[in-house]
Amino acid sequence: MSPPSSPITGVVLAGGQARRMGRRDKGLIDLAGRPMIDYVIEALRPQVDELLINANRNLPLYRRYGYRVVPDRVTGYPGPLAGLAAGLAEARHELVLTVPCDGPWLPPDLAVRLQRHLDAEGADICVAHDGERLQPVHGLFRRRLGADLTAFLAADGRRIRQWLERHPWVAVDFSDQPDAFVNLNTPEERDRIEREIRRRAGR
């Protein structure tokens, strides 16, 4: 598959509180001998022209990866939209791709498929759909949406779907990759996915 036609800034969203994970910094939790975020960076880096990490804790540890670390500009851990807003504000490119820090099997063609549909539909936002539900944290956004998102957050807006509906958006079917949007929200899910990673690696 050909690369994206326009440069993209990728943003790994690692700024949440991870309440169901005991409020541990999810991106740094060990998964089969590696921090969770390792898997995401490894999969995302070949797909983008710039990579940012959105984090609100342990910034020196995240900076060791060699990429710019951008904290939320809104206090109180308001959710992934705050991480997106930080990414839109700091991105060097007009297109911004977000992914969560806890998805070890990110699609290798995520960026190119999202951009293809974004351009074809003339939309401002393109998000993934796993065949059963929308996965809006895996999304491609135009940088010019930053001001509107900042205003939405300032008015205590938090729901991603509510903000999407303010703009032309489209979803892309990724049901051909059923494992792509597995994420780890609890210790039990972490253990289950770790067992699967080790099984696939023959360990």
| Beta strands 125-129; 134-142: pairing state | antiparallel
Q: What are phi and psi of 173, to 5 degrees?
A: -80, 120
Please give the annotated binding residues for GTP, written as ranges.
Answer: 13-15, 26, 54, 72, 102
Structure tokens at 71: 């904290």
Q: Are 54 and 27 in contact (CB under 8 A)?
A: no
Please give the annotated binding residues, written as ranges.
Answer: 13-15, 26, 54, 72, 102
Please give the annotated binding residues for Mg(2+), written as ranges.
Answer: 102
Buried b (16+ CB within 10 A) or exposed e, 60-71: eebeebebbbbb
Q: Are 120 and 164 in contact (CB under 8 A)?
A: no
Cα dihedral 70/140/4/27 (nearest 10): 40
